[in-house]
Amino acid sequence: MNGTYTVGDYGIFDDAYNTTTKLCTEIENADTIGNDTKTQLSDGAIFMGPCADSIVQAMGQLSTSLNTSNSDLGKIKNYLVEVATAYKAGDTKAEKIVCELSTGTISSSSTGAILLVAQGELGNKESNGTHHKYEVDNGAVVLGDEQPWCAAFVSWCANQAGYDTTNFPRFVGCGTGFRQFKNAGATIHYEADGNYTPKEGDIIFFSWSGTSDLDHVGIVKSADANNVYTIEGNTSNMVAEKTRPRNSTIYAYVTPNV
């Protein structure tokens, strides 16, 4: 990364926001200059400032997981504009996304796209209805009130990240989702085997009874020998980051083909 990110450096972020918005528009229109500029930004030949660098990184992360059609580039543009606008307004969730991009906490792999989306949803909860979109716009089944929505949250994030439904099925039930991933050819790692370190973007399935009856699902941020660090929906009735001990309540990790 070029430069050093400073929280609250809105002047630099303004430049990144405006330049990236213009650049996305050029790329959408198949503008040669826009594509050349994107390449130069990726190579570090042009430097707009530390926050600009983080937004270019975000573009690259989302681009790798999306098709290069104009429609999908439009999704990239809209997502970055939304984050940039929220950040400029002092939104702490957007600020955290920019911080994590700047420090490399979220990597440049295609699996980082779903984490970018999930990170922006932290704090949404049942008590104020901000969770409702996961119930109705998950790409699988519309859920009623009082139904568990952890799986719907994961599916909603996959929708927003632009993952295709062949490799990343949409689901609202944990057992159903696990079976769909297996059928889609995703790589399955069972925690009981003890030979895998979960990676960002893995989907983690839980069984509170320690059996194959699955109760909960989330998205992996990172892991070490003792814990897995996740973002989950419907945990204490909200979207939150969790630290999960690596024990028998974790059934398996799924690495989708994204």
Q: Does residue 115 lie in a domain region?
A: no
Does 116 have pLDDT greater than 80?
no
| Higher-confidence position of 196 and 143 | 196
> What is the reported pLDDT for 109?
46
**Same-domain pairing of 45 and 145:** no
- Three-class secondary structure assignment of the chain: CCCCCCCCCHHHHHHHHHHHHHHHHHHHCCCHHHHHHHHHHHHCCCCCCHHHHHHHHHHHHHHHHCCCCHHHHHHHHHHHHHHHHHHHCCCHHHHHHHHHHHHCCCCCCCCHHHHHHHHCCCCCEHHHCCCHHHHHCCCCCCCCCCCCCHHHHHHHHHHHHCCCCCCCCCCCCHHHHHHHHHHCCCEEEEHHHCCCCCCCCCEEEECCCCCCCCCEEEEEEEECCCEEEEEEEEECCEEEEEEEECCCCEEEEEECCC
Residues 133 and 96 in one domain: no
Does the residue 122 lie in any domain?
Answer: no
- Measured between its terminal Cα atoms, the distance across the chain in Å is 25
Rounded Cα gap, residues 118 and 155, in angstroms:
11
Is the pLDDT score of 82 beyond 90? no
pLDDT of res. 251: 98
**Number of neighbours of residue 49 by Cβ within 10 angstroms:** 20
Nearest Cα to 59, choosing from 22, 92, 95? Answer: 22
Distance of alpha carbon 33 from alpha carbon 21, whole angstroms = 14
Q: Do 85 and 132 fall into the same domain? A: no
- Using an 8 Å Cβ cutoff, are 234 and 167 in contact? no
Task: Kindly report the CATH number assigned to the domain that includes residue 216.
Answer: 3.90.1720.10
The CA–CA distances, whole Å, from 184 to 72, 220, 233 equal: 23, 20, 23
**Is 3 inside any structural domain?**
no
35 with 69, same domain?
A: yes
Of the candidate ranges 30-39, 165-174, 234-243, the one whose mean pLDDT is the lowest: 30-39
pLDDT value of residue 94: 60
**Residues 40 and 70 both lie in one domain:** yes
Range of the domain at 201: 128-255
User: How many degrees, rounded to 5, is the angle at CA 160 between CA 146 and CA 124?
Assistant: 40
- pLDDT tens-digit readout, 123-134: 999 999 999 999
Any domain includes 97:
yes
At residue 138, φ and ψ (nearest 5 deg) are: -100, -5
Please report, rounded to a whole number, the percentage of residues in the chain having pLDDT higher than 90: 42
| % of the chain at pLDDT higher than 70 | 57
Classify residue 146: in a domain, yes or no. yes
* Residue 141 belongs to some domain of the structure: yes
pLDDT band at 162 (very low <50, low <70, confident <90, very high): confident
Convert the pLDDT of each residue in 48-68 to its tens digit: 334 444 555 555 544 444 444
Provide the token pair at 37. 């500029």
Shortest CA distance to 148 belongs to which of 130, 128, 168, 126?
Answer: 126
Same domain, 142 and 205: yes
Among residues 49, 76, 108, the one where a domain terminates is 108
